[in-house]
Structure 1
Amino acid sequence: MPAYILSTGAYRPRVQQPNHALTERFFLKRGNKIHQKATVDILEKFTAVTEIRERSIALPEVSASRMGYLAAEEAIERGGVDREAIDYIIVAHNWGDVSTKHNFQDTLPNLAARIKSKLGIRNPRCVAYDILFGCPGWLEGVRQVDLLIRSGEARYVLVVGTDTVSRVVEEYDVDSLLFSDGAGAALMAASASPNTGVLASATRSHCLEELDYLRMGRSFSDRKYLDGLYLKMQGRQVFKYALREVPAVITACLEKAEVDLRDVRYFIMHQANAKMIKAIASRLFAQHGIANYPEDVLPINVYTKGNNSVATIPTLLHEVIDRAHNQRGIERGDLVVFASVGAGMHVNAMIHRF
């Protein structure tokens, strides 16, 4: 039987950082100081383009593994499963635990092992491993869960996405405004029917000229030259790649599952920025001969959460299930398409029937 999302959990950091609180920040772009406009004008343009008004930031004492543990704990409690019966814990992240004092990345022991320890799981047959796959990491973990459960290798699997992206971007970079912190988790089990759970999935990796669209690089400021590496992005190239590849991989899933686009209840996309999410949806529907997509099929939370990397999809799913976006939530029989894109470059998609 296919894998089925039994329950979810999420951790939203307590600190909300609105754009208007950053008016004293000094921005650089590609190493050049931005003199042409006042910071207020830069922030207004950023808000207009991305529709991100604020972002969630973890407190200094809260690590990625801590956030992941809290999200996992909620998923286990909601799922009503004995934690000692969990066969695998798969944790997607990109930087490990990062201190606020510096941005050096701590990945040993791996985050899945840390989360298993925090959960107090003693069973040595519960295997805990990490995935480093850019923003699509959590969804790729879910794809692996489906293979594990279909093969009979596992009954229950916990898949977690957690990142403190705010600690690997630099305050001098305009692109830093996109990113935030957060964690989401899903507990998965075998579906009771071959017609529910994961119906189809697909992943593509383009790693030639696309390799450096998102990368770690030196600071734009000489003052922070020795402080480590920071997330750098070729925003225009990422946008063009996502607009081309995400609709294609979703369509591949629809065809594989023999599902009509019109029958999908929700499209839960990676929350990179609202402009990109809406452009992808418009392109997808246009390719299927539909002029406009219904707004209620495309929940978006990046307006106030920001882009927290691997955590965007599981946290948004958790919100939709909890009726945070409408009173309907997710009902039995609903078809949900998940899709993500990120560093590598990688793109993936999945269709799940609840």
Structure 2
Amino acid sequence: MQGARIISVGSAVPDLRINNRDISQIVETSDEWIVTRTGIKERRVLTGANKSVVDLAYHAAMKALHNIRMDPLEIDLIILATSSPNDLFGSASKVQAKIGAKKAVAFDLTAACSGFVLAIVTAAQFVQNGSYKNILIIGADVLSKWIDWSDRKTCILFGDGAGAAIIQACSEEDNAILGFQLNTDGKQSDELSITYKENPYSLNTFQLFQGQFQYISMNGKEVYKFAVSKVPASITKCLNALDLSTKDVNWLLLHQANKRILKAVADRLSIDTCKIISNLSKYGNTSAASIPLALDEALQNNKITKEDIIVISGFGAGLTWGTVVIKWKC
């Protein structure tokens, strides 16, 4: 077995900002109401003809490559974590072509807000077993395209964005992906979903069914209860397996869903809130992009230093949740 470590990070967001006052012109709400309940002040939304998740993923990937002056031809594998591809067959191949990584295998990974955590874990397996040397993972979503802007429960929450990281093989002694813990509960999948509605129609003697995907639907109370109970348990289990305690944690990086969830998880783990990495107020819930977006910003602000222990946890639709513990080596 060889080691794996993150050697570069990059991110990208659309130019258009929609603040809470803008939202209050669409639905009955206010800046105070949204900030108090979610911590979100504004979000970014992708606009423009033929603009898609591929564009944001491309810019985030190129920033990660540029930071270490890596040629795209050195990338062996691309994993695009997204729930909003611009093609139902997947968008990773389009990213591969756009960045010029023609030697890389590319595929989509769909796990909603847990997607980037699963991408880290998946990439680490390929690296640690010797299959690939350089893997580009991207978390990117444009959920604004799947929002009912008349639904106050969801339109205040979501934004668009992308974040990328390059995971590279290293010696076993320098391994930085220390451990992980993953879970799924499909029985609760209806609590947060984009459902497919079928419509029957007749074709000669056959009855066929075709339809289309609906808007985002969410039971906020149930998702909150799920997150504040399952995420601390996942983190504790992962730390225990590594013989670490919460006192060893330098940074807590959670999926950026709601400030109350972030605080509740930290409180249950007795982790000081000053250790929470968050940029939720500026971007809202960007699904698979939220963790790498926040990680990139923290690095740019020099918050994270070499040898820091970072607990990363994602949670969301599926319902899925998971934790990965990394040691920062750069």
Q: What is the deviation of 1:335?
A: 0.6
1:107 is matched with which residue? Answer: 88
1:298 is matched with which residue? Answer: 276
1:314 is matched with which residue? Answer: 292
Q: What is the deviation of 1:227?
A: 8.0
2:200 is matched with which residue? Answer: none
Classify the secondary structure of the residue corresponding to 2:173: coil
Q: Assess if the C-alpha contact under 8 Å between 1:191 and 1:197 holds in 2.
A: no
1:260 corresponds to 2:260: no
User: CA-to-partner distance for each residue in 1:260-285, whole Å, 9 max, x for gaps?
Assistant: 21111111100001111111111122
The separation in 1 between residues aligned to 2:93 and 2:120, in whole angstroms, is 18
The separation in 1 between residues aligned to 2:48 and 2:88, in whole angstroms, is 18
For residue 207 of structure 1, the aligned residue among 147, 161, 186 is 186
The separation in 1 between residues aligned to 2:13 and 2:6, in whole angstroms, is 20
1:345 corresponds to 2:330: no
Q: How does 1:1-354 map to 2 (within 5 A)?
A: 1-26=2-27, 39-41=28-30, 43-61=31-49, 62-97=51-86, 106-108=87-89, 110-123=90-103, 126-174=104-152, 175-194=154-173, 196-208=175-187, 210-217=188-195, 228-285=213-270, 293-323=271-301, 328-354=302-328
Q: Assess if the C-alpha contact under 8 Å between 2:127 and 2:133 holds in 1.
A: yes
The separation in 2 between residues aligned to 1:173 and 1:147, in whole angstroms, is 40
Counterpart residue identity of residue 171, structure 1 = W
Classify the secondary structure of the residue corresponding to 1:96: coil
The separation in 1 between residues aligned to 2:291 and 2:132, in whole angstroms, is 23
Q: Assess if the C-alpha contact under 8 Å between 1:207 and 1:344 holds in 2.
A: yes
Q: Assess if the C-alpha contact under 8 Å between 1:2 and 1:199 holds in 2.
A: no
Counterpart residue identity of residue 112, structure 1 = A
Unmatched segments (≥5 aa) in structure 2 = 198-210
Unmatched segments (≥5 aa) in structure 1 = 27-38, 98-105, 220-225, 286-292
The separation in 2 between residues aligned to 1:232 and 1:87, in whole angstroms, is 37
TM-score scaled by length of structure 1: 0.84
Q: What is the deviation of 1:73?
A: 0.7
The separation in 1 between residues aligned to 2:75 and 2:88, in whole angstroms, is 23
Classify the secondary structure of the residue corresponding to 2:156: helix
Q: What is the deviation of 1:40?
A: 4.2
Q: What is the deviation of 1:336?
A: 0.5
Classify the secondary structure of the residue corresponding to 2:186: coil
How many residues align? The count is: 312
1:100 is matched with which residue? Answer: none
Distance 1:228 1:211, change over 3 A: closer
CA-based RMSD of the aligned residues comes to: 1.7
Q: Assess if the C-alpha contact under 8 Å between 1:79 and 1:187 holds in 2.
A: no
Q: What is the deviation of 1:217?
A: 4.3
Q: What is the deviation of 1:141?
A: 0.8
Distance 1:94 1:40, change over 3 A: closer
User: CA-to-partner distance for each residue in 1:178-207, whole Å, 9 max, x for gaps?
Assistant: 000000000110234435410000101111
Q: Assess if the C-alpha contact under 8 Å between 1:250 and 1:339 holds in 2.
A: yes
The separation in 2 between residues aligned to 1:90 and 1:185, in whole angstroms, is 10
